[in-house]
Amino acid sequence: MSAIDAVVIGCSAGGLEALQQVLRLFPAGLGVPVVIVSHTAPDGIYLLPQLLGRICALPVAEAEEGEPVLAGHVYLASPNYHLLIEPDRRFALSTDPKVCNVRPAIDVLFVSAADAFRGRLAGIVLTGANADGARGLRAVAEAGGFGLVQDPLTAFADAMPRAAIASVPTAKVLPLPAIAGEVIALCRP
Amino acid sequence: MNEAELLDIEVTLFLEALYRRHGYDFRNYAKASIRRRVAGLTSLAGVGSVAELIPRTLRDASFLPEILAQLSVPVTDMFRDAPVFQALRQQVLPILASWPRLKIWQAGCATGEEVYSLAILLEEEGLLERTLIYATDINDLALKKAEDGIFPLAGLDDAQKRHRESGGRRPLAEYGVSGHGYFRLDQRLREHIVFAHHNLVCDGVFCEVHLVLCRNVMIYFDRELQARALRLFHESLGRGGFLCLGTRESLRHFESDSGFAVVDRENRIFRRGEEKAA
């Protein structure tokens, strides 16, 4: 049996390139869902699903309210909505106030995912210029899940990975290709 | 038993206490968001666990407004989602213009930013004079703010931009007066709005309307409660009446039997059809 049932990823400044580097290494039929919060502008056309869909072997789409969180799919939080995972492992959206000055916030997704998946979850914090994700990653770790953080030295913006490491000193700190490798290893039956 | 399971029991007991003591029923709200809000209330109230909220909920009546304010966190912006307001302007209002008198219901108006946006839209399309808007919410503190119609000036520039994108013709600043960092909307807009307490969870139909706006409210409900709200909207709308939901909400789970047809999928605008709701 694999060690995890889901992966959650958070990123901000420089996130597109980092996500591309990680997602392109995931094989088709990855045995878990991958759920991503990437800080984005509230208005305008949301291009991230197409941009990531092009380089990823897994189907990529915006997470829709009420839909089950399915293995082998990559889901993205919609602009201007927090994304949460319900205890029955379906997606929920909210327009609650911004957290860490952003919506969607990584903390909101990670805390709800830690509730839903407990120890069978990997939380990953990538490049970014604020502290969102630090509290969420701690919730993942406290529930017994796996914390992975992009090596700040390799990050476009290092504030977010540094805050995550300070919050969860036991998290594994790795460059992007190794993060993908770690996820694939955790998914191995 | 792990922490999440304990928390689940605590939240369930707290919501049960709130319902049985005060009649406010959040038991069918989506769990993840209500947990966040209850956790927020816990730290706001300065207690160590959700369970400790229960005695105060039962015995301290002055705690209720604080509970409701925290559990129904109001967040809206003027002209949030400009394309939706543009679609209302171009696709819905021209049809509604054929009625001599218009009634509109905004369910879950929170602090009122959206209902004033709607009033401005109606004014610009020459319909406000013959329109009455019912703006309802369960949060009395938010309703009071909505009634005042005074908003921080800081958000006005962004709102102005969205207003223009929606096809707005005049500067937003002309619909009110600013001073001391705040913007107060015209009394003239306010005269066409009736603010009232209404709870989608337990209250019924109170009038027949031509348009229902209920944006980003049903995302907080579980499937059962969503179905109840939809039936309520269906019963409140006359034949051919319109329903506008949040841009990430859908009738997908109900579409075959909801009694609504899609008008504009992108902007989540639907129209009541001939058939009865299931």
What's the DSSP call for residue A159?
A: H
Annotated active-site residue A82? The verdict is no
Which class does domain B82-272 fall in?
alpha beta
Under 8 Å between Cβ of A51 and A1: no
* Torsion (CA) A138, A140, A145, A148 in degrees, nearest 10: -70
What is the pLDDT at residue B141? 87
Annotated active-site residue A132? The verdict is yes
Q: Any idea what the Cα angle at residue B31 is, between residues B30 and B32, rounded to 5°?
A: 105
List CB contacts (< 8 A) between A66 and chain B.
223, 252-253
pLDDT band at B278 (very low <50, low <70, confident <90, very high): very low
pLDDT at B276 over 60: no
| Spatial distance between the Cα atoms of B146 and B133, rounded to a whole number of angstroms | 13
What is the pLDDT at residue B2? 80
Place of tokens 């990559």: A74
Out of A5, A73, A112, A132, which one is annotated catalytic? A132
Out of A39, A73, A107, A158, which one is annotated catalytic? A39
What is the pLDDT at residue A189? 82
What is the pLDDT at residue B253? 73
Q: How far is B31 from chain A (nearest CA, A)?
A: 6
Q: How far is B82 from chain A (nearest CA, A)?
A: 9
pLDDT band at B256 (very low <50, low <70, confident <90, very high): low
Q: Which pTM was predicted?
A: 0.93
| Spatial distance between the Cα atoms of B151 and B145, rounded to a whole number of angstroms | 9
Average pLDDT for B40-62: 95
Q: Do B32 and A97 touch (CB under 8 A)?
A: no
Q: What residues in chain B have their Cβ under 8 A from chain A's Cβ atoms?
A: 2-4, 7-8, 30-33, 35-37, 73, 75-76, 80, 82, 162, 216, 219-220, 223, 246, 248-250, 252-253
What's the DSSP call for residue B99?
A: S
Place of tokens 């406010």: B24
Question: Rounded to an integer, what is the distance from CA A41 to the centroid of its chain?
Answer: 18
List CB contacts (< 8 A) between B250 and chain A.
64-65
Largest CA distance in chain B: 62
Which of B35, B73, B162 is opposite residue A97, by nearest beta carbon? B73
* Alpha carbon separation from B214 to A141, B34, B134, B170, B261 (Å, rounded): 38, 19, 12, 26, 16
Fold type of domain A18-187? Rossmann fold (3.40.50)
Q: Which residue of B has its CA nearest to A109?
A: B32
Average pLDDT for B93-122: 96
| Spatial distance between the Cα atoms of B276 and B51, rounded to a whole number of angstroms | 44
Parse chain A into domains and list their residue ranges.
Answer: 18-187
Parse chain B into domains and list their residue ranges.
Answer: 3-71, 82-272
Question: Rounded to an integer, what is the distance from CA B126 to the centroid of its chain?
Answer: 24
Q: Do B4 and A84 touch (CB under 8 A)?
A: no
Annotated active-site residue A73? The verdict is no
- Cα-Cα end-to-end distance for chain B: 41
Q: Do A115 and B216 touch (CB under 8 A)?
A: no
Report the residue count for chain B: 278
Q: Any idea what the Cα angle at residue B73 is, between residues A37 and B92, rounded to 5°?
A: 80
Tokens read off for A14: 């420089």
Q: Do A84 and B32 touch (CB under 8 A)?
A: yes
Which of A65, A85, A142 is opposite residue B219, by nearest beta carbon? A65
List CB contacts (< 8 A) between B79 and chain A.
none
- Cα-Cα end-to-end distance for chain A: 4
What's the DSSP call for residue B88?
A: I
Q: Do B75 and A97 touch (CB under 8 A)?
A: yes
Q: Do A94 and B219 touch (CB under 8 A)?
A: yes
Mean pLDDT for all residues in chain B? 92
List CB contacts (< 8 A) between B248 and chain A.
62, 64-65, 78, 81, 93
Half-sphere exposure of A35 (CA within 13 A, CB side): 37
List CB contacts (< 8 A) between B162 and chain A.
43
Listed as ranges, residues in chain A with pLDDT below 70 are 44
For testing contact with chain A, the best of B36, B42, B109 (most A CBs within 10 A): B36
| Spatial distance between the Cα atoms of A1 and A106, rounded to a whole number of angstroms | 28
Under 8 Å between Cβ of B27 and B16: yes
Give ipTM to 2 decimals: 0.90
For testing contact with chain B, the best of A65, A91, A142 (most B CBs within 10 A): A65
For testing contact with chain B, the best of A64, A80, A91, A96 (most B CBs within 10 A): A96
Instruction: Convert the pLDDT of each residue in B207-253 to its tens digit.
Output: 999 999 999 999 999 999 999 999 999 999 989 999 999 999 988 77
What is the pLDDT at residue B277? 43
